[in-house]
Amino acid sequence: MPQTVAKPDPDHPITVEPTAGRVVVRAGGRIIADTTRALTLREADHPPVQYLPPDAVAPGVLHPTPTSTTCAYKGQASYYALITDDGEVPDAVWSYKTPKPIAAAIAGYVAFYPQHVDLTVEPAPEPTTQPEPTA
């Protein structure tokens, strides 16, 4: 069966841009990911999704699962179980190893299903200005 390939259009836009600020992900009250290098993916009328570089995730909290899905716009996603102090949450995290060109920036980054974690985006700090020296 041939795979359907869709391209973003005005009715289904997709954008990826750097997240302004710091993204912190907690599970069971413990910080499991923390980065200022996240990317925000906006797709059509879906809520924005934060994609984090894998090195921002604490070691040992992700375990690959055999699950995969295909998005007509972004490509094939692979999934991870989230290992917490309370146990394992299957398929709570996903990643596009080789996404389609429109989403190439998220290659290898991971995203968390919001019902399994507490994800916050802290605003970027305001730039500080130095006072003018007085003579």
What parts of the chain have a pLDDT lower than 70?
1-9, 129-135
Backbone angles phi, psi at 45, to 5 degrees: -100, 15
Q: What is the pLDDT of residue 50?
A: 98
Question: Which amino acid is residue 31, in one-letter code?
Answer: I
Going along the chain from its start, the domains and CATH numbers come out as: 14-122 (2.170.150.40)
Q: What is the pLDDT of residue 63?
A: 97
CA-closest candidate to residue 78, choices 62, 94, 63, 89? 94
Q: What is the pLDDT of residue 60?
A: 95
CA distance 58 to 98: 23
List own/partner pairs for 91-97 with CB under 8 A and 24 or more apart: 91/65, 91/67, 92/116, 92/117, 93/62, 94/69, 95/54
